[in-house]
C-alpha cells in the first residue's frame, strides 16, 4: 500500500482482515473510521493471564483463572432448550468440569481428543469440584502456552457480538495495527517533561495500554496517556486565555464616582470579605485595557447579584452600557426587581426585556439602548435578537451560563462592533474543581465562599415517608411563627402525566392536612402569567405553603420561607437538591431542608442523601456529584465539546490534571509561541491537528 499523507488517517478497511463490511460495523457501532481511531480505542479492563493455575489450586473465590490441560471426556446432557455440553479437563493435579449452554452442539463437534487446551473463566464449585460455566477454550499452541500477559477487554455492542466481532477479535486487529503503526507514532511531549514526570514514550504507552507485560507497565502506560491528554487540554485553554489577553482589547473603567456614592450612601449592609476580594479582582480586570473573561462561582444566597451590580456601575460610570442575561423569565424578574431598587436611587436607567415584553415597550427599549439613554438592561434570550442594538455595550453579565449555547453567547459579544464587552459569567451551580479547570480553564475564576453576615447554615434532615405526620407538625410550628414552606415534587421527563397526577395528589393531601392555611401550586404546564401570579402571592405572604415542581429551583427569592420539604428526594441529583435547598435560608431565621424518601434506597441515592445532610459546602457536594455521576451527566458538559476525553477521568484524575495544568502553564509562560527547540514536539503536534479537533492529544 502506498504511503499516505498521514498514516493514521488510513481508513480501517485497509487493515488486513477487516475489509469494507467489518469497517462499516466499526464505523457505526464504535465510531472507528481510521487507524488513529482504532489505536486510540482503549481497553476498559484487563483479564489477568499472567499465570496458569493448577486445577488443585482453583477455588470459587478467585475472580478468573487460566488453566491448561487435556479433555478427558465430554457429552451432551439433557434435551431441547435444557441441553448442555459437559466436558472434563485434567492436568495431573485434579479434574475440572466445564459447562456450555449456548452453542453447545456446534462446540461439541469441534472438540478433539488427545489435544491440550487453554481454559479461562470464572470458577465456581459444584459437589466439591471446581467448575467453569461458559469458559473460553482454545487449543494450546506456542503463543498461548507462555501465558504471562494481561488480556485487554474492550467495550462492545450487542450488534458487534452478533457479527462475531468480540473483544478478542478487536485485540487481534489492534495487535496487527500496532505491528505496523508504532514506527509512525511521533513523540508529542518534550524530553524534559518525560524525564521530569518519569513518563513512557508515546509508542511504549500505546503498546502497553493495549498489551501490557504486567501491572507496572499498564500503570505507566495509562499514566502517560492521561497526563498527555490533560496536558493538551490545559495547554489549549491556557493558550486561549493568553491569546485573549494579548489580542482582545477591553474598555477601561477607571473612574467610579457613582460607585463610590453607592458604597457610602445607599448600600445598607456590609459586603463580605469574599465579595470585596472578588470586586477587587474584577476592578483589576476592567482597568487593565484587556477584555475581562471571568467566572464568578458562589452558592445560592452568597451575594453574586450585588457584585454584578457593582460591576455594572463601573461600566456606566465610564460611558458604557451593561446587560444581564438570565435563562428564565422568573430569574430575569428576580434580577430586575433587585437591581432596579439600586438603579432607581442612583438615577440610572434600567429596563427588562423578555419574550413576554409588549411590542410597543420593546421598540422603546431598543431605541433607548441605541441612543445610549438606557444604561442597564436585564433580559432573557430576547437580548440576542437582531433589533436589540447598543450604543456602547461594555459589560455582559451571564447568569447560569451552562444553559446558553456557545453561538448564543457569541451573538451577545458581537453587539459591540468596536471592542468586545467585558464578560462576567455567574453560576450558583458549584462546579467541581477538576471540571472547572477543564470546562472553564480559559476563564479567570472568582469564588464567593462566604455567606452574608446574619445568615445561618441550613439544617438538613432525612425523613422516611412513615414520619410524614411529624413533618406536617413541624411545618405547622414554623407557619405559626410567621414563616412559609415549600413542598417540592419531582418531575421526571419520561412521564409528564404521572408527574402531574403525583403533584396534584400531593397538593390535595397538603390542602387536607392544612385546611386553615392558603396554598399556592406552581408547575411547568401552567402559563407563565399564572406561574408569576402564584409566585407573587407567595412572595407577598398571601399564601403560606407553595406546592411546586422543580420550576422553583432557580429564581424565587422569599427570605421569609424557612422550610423546604423535598418529596421523593431520591429521584433528584445532588446538585439539584443543593439548588432546591438554597431556596430557603435567605433571611436571618434558622431554615430547614427535609428530604423525604421511601425506606428502599439504592446505594447511590443513599450516598446523595447522606452527603447533603452532612454538608452545606457546594464545592464538596459538586465533587461528590462528579464521583457519583461522572462528568458526562453534569449540566452542559457534553454539549460543550470540551469533554472529548479518551482515557482521562475527571472524577479520579484530579492530581494528574493539576500536574498537567502546571506543566502547560509553565511551558506557555516561558515559551508562549512554543518556538524553542525543546518544545518542537508540542508545536509540530499542534500544527498537524485538524482545525476542528477539540482533543489536542489525539493521534494526528
Quick one: pLDDT at residue 229? 94
Quick one: pLDDT at residue 601? 86
* CATH number of the domain to which 139 belongs: 2.40.50.140
80 lies in which domain range?
A: 51-147
Quick one: pLDDT at residue 34? 94
β-sheet with 129-133: strand ranges across: 123-126, 129-133, 95-100, 84-90, 65-77, 116-121, 136-139
Q: Is residue 282 part of a domain?
A: yes
Cβ atoms within 10 Å of 555's Cβ, excluding its own: 20
pLDDT, tens only, 518-560: 999 888 778 877 887 888 899 899 999 999 887 765 556 788 9
Res. 500 pLDDT band, cuts 50 70 90: low
The residue ranges of DSSP E strands in 421-532, in sequence order, are 422-427, 444-448, 459-464, 484-488, 519-522
Q: Is residue 124 part of a domain?
A: yes
Distance, CA of 7 to CA of 24 (rounded, Å): 20
Q: Tell me the pairing of strands 65-77 and 45-49.
A: unpaired
pLDDT, tens only, 126-175: 877 899 999 988 898 877 777 777 889 999 988 888 888 888 899 999 99
- Out of 417, 448, 479, a domain closes at 448
Quick one: pLDDT at residue 662? 93
Q: Tell me, yes or no, whether 390 and 525 share the same domain.
A: no
Q: Tell me, yes or no, whether 67 and 108 share the same domain.
A: yes
Q: Tell me, yes or no, whether 124 and 180 share the same domain.
A: no
Distance, CA of 112 to CA of 73 (rounded, Å): 10
Is the model's pLDDT at 238 over the cut of 50?
yes
Q: Which segment of 91-100, 256-265, 429-438 scores lowest on mean pLDDT?
A: 429-438
* CATH number of the domain to which 376 belongs: 3.40.50.300
Res. 494 pLDDT band, cuts 50 70 90: very low
What does residue 256 show for φ and ψ, rounded to 5 degrees?
-135, 55
Quick one: pLDDT at residue 598? 87
Q: Which segment of 438-447, 466-475, 578-587, 663-672 scores lowest on mean pLDDT?
A: 438-447
Per the model's pLDDT, the better-predicted residue between 256 and 450 turns out to be 256
Q: What is the DSSP letter of 466?
A: G
Is the model's pLDDT at 203 over the cut of 80?
yes
Mean pLDDT of the residues in the chain: 86
Global pTM reads: 0.67
If you average pLDDT over residues 417-445, what whole number do you get?
78
Q: Is residue 115 part of a domain?
A: yes
If you average pLDDT over residues 243-264, what whole number do you get?
85
Q: Which segment of 141-145, 346-350, 389-393, 459-463 scores lowest on mean pLDDT?
A: 141-145
Q: Tell me, yes or no, whether 422 and 522 share the same domain.
A: no
If you average pLDDT over residues 311-329, what whole number do you get?
93
Res. 487 pLDDT band, cuts 50 70 90: very high
Is the model's pLDDT at 308 over the cut of 50?
yes
Q: What is the DSSP letter of 272?
A: P
Is the model's pLDDT at 479 over the cut of 90?
yes
The residue ranges of DSSP E strands in 232-353, in sequence order, are 293-298, 321-325, 350-353
Quick one: pLDDT at residue 492? 45
Q: Tell me, yes or no, whether 475 and 534 share the same domain.
A: yes
Q: Is residue 203 part of a domain?
A: no
Q: Tell me, yes or no, whether 405 and 551 share the same domain.
A: no
Quick one: pLDDT at residue 594? 96
Q: Is residue 639 part of a domain?
A: no
* CATH number of the domain to which 166 belongs: 1.10.150
Q: Tell me, yes or no, whether 316 and 379 share the same domain.
A: yes
State how many domains the chain has: 4
Q: Is residue 168 part of a domain?
A: yes
- Out of 396, 415, 448, a domain closes at 448
Cβ burial of 257 (10 Å; 0-12, 13-18, 19+) is: exposed
Cell of 617: 459546602
Per the model's pLDDT, the better-predicted residue between 187 and 2 turns out to be 187
Per the model's pLDDT, the better-predicted residue between 197 and 500 turns out to be 197
Q: Tell me, yes or no, whether 13 and 85 share the same domain.
A: no
By residue count, the chain amounts to 700
Q: Tell me, yes or no, whether 431 and 540 share the same domain.
A: no
Quick one: pLDDT at residue 630? 60
If you average pLDDT over residues 651-660, what whole number do you get?
86
Quick one: pLDDT at residue 9? 92
Q: Tell me, yes or no, whether 19 and 143 share the same domain.
A: no
Q: Is residue 231 part of a domain?
A: no
Q: Tell me, yes or no, whether 432 and 571 share the same domain.
A: no
Write the CA distances from 102 to 78, 84, 221, 461, 591, integer angstroms: 13, 8, 37, 51, 60
Element (H, E) at 67: strand 65-77
- Out of 416, 448, 480, a domain closes at 448
Cβ atoms within 10 Å of 563's Cβ, excluding its own: 22
Q: Is residue 464 part of a domain?
A: yes
Q: Tell me, yes or no, whether 142 and 279 share the same domain.
A: no
If you average pLDDT over residues 265-276, what whole number do you get?
88
Quick one: pLDDT at residue 149? 77
Is the model's pLDDT at 100 over the cut of 70?
yes
Sequence-distant (≥ 6) Cβ neighbours of residue 155 within 8 angstroms: 30, 44
pLDDT, tens only, 604-619: 889 889 999 998 877 7
Amino acid at each position: 500500500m502506498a504511503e499516505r499523507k498521514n498514516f493514521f488517517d488510513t481508513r480501517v478497511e485497509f487493515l488486513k482482515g477487516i475489509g469494507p463490511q467489518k469497517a462499516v460495523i466499526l464505523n457505526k457501532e464504535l465510531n472507528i473510521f481510521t487507524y488513529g481511531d482504532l489505536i486510540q480505542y482503549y481497553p476498559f479492563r484487563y483479564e489477568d493471564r499472567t499465570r496458569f493455575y493448577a486445577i488443585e489450586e482453583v477455588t470459587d473465590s478467585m475472580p478468573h483463572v487460566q488453566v491448561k490441560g487435556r479433555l478427558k471426556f465430554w457429552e451432551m446432557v439433557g434435551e431441547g432448550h435444557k441441553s448442555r455440553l459437559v466436558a472434563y479437563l485434567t492436568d495431573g493435579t485434579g479434574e475440572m468440569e466445564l459447562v456450555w449452554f449456548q452453542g453447545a452442539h456446534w462446540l461439541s463437534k469441534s472438540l478433539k481428543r488427545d489435544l491440550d487446551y487453554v481454559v479461562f473463566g470464572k470458577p465456581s464449585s459444584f459437589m466439591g469440584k471446581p467448575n467453569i460455566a461458559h469458559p473460553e477454550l482454545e487449543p494450546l499452541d506456542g503463543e498461548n502456552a507462555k501465558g504471562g500477559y494481561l488480556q485487554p477487554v474492550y467495550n462492545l455492542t450487542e450488534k458487534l457480538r452478533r457479527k462475531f466481532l468480540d473483544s478478542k477479535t478487536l485485540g487481534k486487529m489492534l495487535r496487527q495495527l500496532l505491528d505496523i503503526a508504532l514506527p509512525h507514532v511521533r513523540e508529542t511531549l518534550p524530553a524534559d517533561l518525560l524525564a521530569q514526570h518519569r513518563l513512557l514514550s508515546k509508542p511504549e504507552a500505546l503498546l502497553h495500554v493495549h498489551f501490557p507485560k504486567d501491572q507496572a507497565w499498564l500503570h505507566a502506560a495509562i499514566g502517560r496517556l492521561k497526563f498527555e491528554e490533560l496536558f493538551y487540554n490545559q495547554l489549549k485553554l491556557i493558550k486561549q486565555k493568553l491569546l485573549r489577553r494579548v489580542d482582545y482589547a477591553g474598555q477601561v473603567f477607571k473612574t467610579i464616582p457613582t460607585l463610590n456614592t453607592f458604597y457610602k450612601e445607599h448600600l445598607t449592609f456590609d459586603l463580605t470579605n469574599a465579595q470585596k476580594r472578588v470586586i477587587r479582582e474584577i476592578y483589576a480586570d476592567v482597568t487593565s485595557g484587556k477584555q475581562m473573561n471571568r467566572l464568578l462561582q458562589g452558592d445560592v444566597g452568597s451575594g453574586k447579584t450585588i457584585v454584578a451590580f457593582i460591576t455594572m456601575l463601573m461600566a456606566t460610570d465610564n460611558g458604557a452600557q451593561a446587560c444581564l442575561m438570565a435563562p428564565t423569565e422568573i430569574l430575569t424578574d428576580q434580577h430586575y426587581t433587585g437591581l432596579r431598587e439600586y438603579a432607581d436611587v442612583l438615577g440610572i436607567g434600567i429596563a427588562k426585556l423578555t419574550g413576554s415584553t409588549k411590542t410597543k415597550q420593546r421598540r422603546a427599549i431598543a431605541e433607548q439602548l441605541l441612543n445610549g439613554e438606557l444604561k442597564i438592561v436585564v433580559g432573557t434570550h430576547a437580548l440576542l435578537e437582531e433589533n436589540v442594538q447598543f450604543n456602547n455595550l461594555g459589560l455582559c453579565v451571564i447568569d447560569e451560563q451552562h444553559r446558553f449555547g456557545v453561538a448564543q453567547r457569541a451573538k451577545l459579544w458581537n453587539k459591540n462592533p468596536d471592542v468586545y464587552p467585558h464578560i462576567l459569567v455567574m453560576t450558583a451551580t458549584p462546579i467541581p474543581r477538576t471540571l472547572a479547570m477543564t470546562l472553564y480553564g480559559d476563564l479567570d475564576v472568582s469564588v464567593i465562599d462566604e455567606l452574608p453576615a446574619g445568615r445561618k447554615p441550613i439544617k438538613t434532615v432525612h425523613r422516611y415517608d412513615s414520619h410524614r405526620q411529624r413533618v406536617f407538625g413541624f411545618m405547622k410550628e414554623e407557619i405559626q411563627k410567621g414563616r412559609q414552606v415549600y413542598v417540592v415534587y419531582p418531575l421526571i421527563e419520561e412521564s409528564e402525566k404521572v408527574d402531574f397526577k403525583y403533584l396534584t395528589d400531593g397538593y390535595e393531601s397538603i390542602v387536607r392536612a392544612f385546611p386553615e392555611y392558603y396554598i399556592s401550586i406552581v408547575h411547568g404546564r401552567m402559563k407563565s402569567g399564572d406561574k408569576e401570579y402564584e409566585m407573587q402571592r407567595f412572595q407577598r405572604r398571601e399564601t403560606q405553603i407553595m406546592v411546586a415542581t422543580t420550576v422553583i429551583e432557580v429564581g424565587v427569592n422569599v427570605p421569609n420561607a424557612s422550610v423546604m420539604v423535598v418529596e421523593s428526594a431520591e429521584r433528584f441529583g445532588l446538585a439539584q437538591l443543593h439548588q432546591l435547598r438554597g431556596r430557603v435560608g435567605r433571611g436571618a431565621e434558622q431554615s430547614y431542608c427535609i428530604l423525604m424518601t421511601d425506606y428502599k434506597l439504592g446505594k447511590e441515592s443513599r450516598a446523595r442523601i447522606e452527603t447533603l445532610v452532612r454538608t452545606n459546602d457546594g464545592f464538596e457536594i459538586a465533587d461528590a456529584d462528579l464521583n457519583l455521576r461522572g462528568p458526562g451527566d453534569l449540566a452542559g458538559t457534553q454539549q460543550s465539546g470540551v469533554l472529548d476525553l479518551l482515557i482521562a477521568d475527571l472524577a479520579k484524575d484530579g492530581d494528574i490534571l493539576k500536574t498537567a495544568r502546571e506543566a502547560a502553564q509553565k511551558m506557555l509562560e516561558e515559551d508562549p509561541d512554543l518556538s524553542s527547540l525543546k518544545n518542537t514536539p508540542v508545536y509540530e503536534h499542534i500544527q498537524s491537528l485538524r482545525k476542528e479537533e477539540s482533543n489536542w492529544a489525539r493521534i494526528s
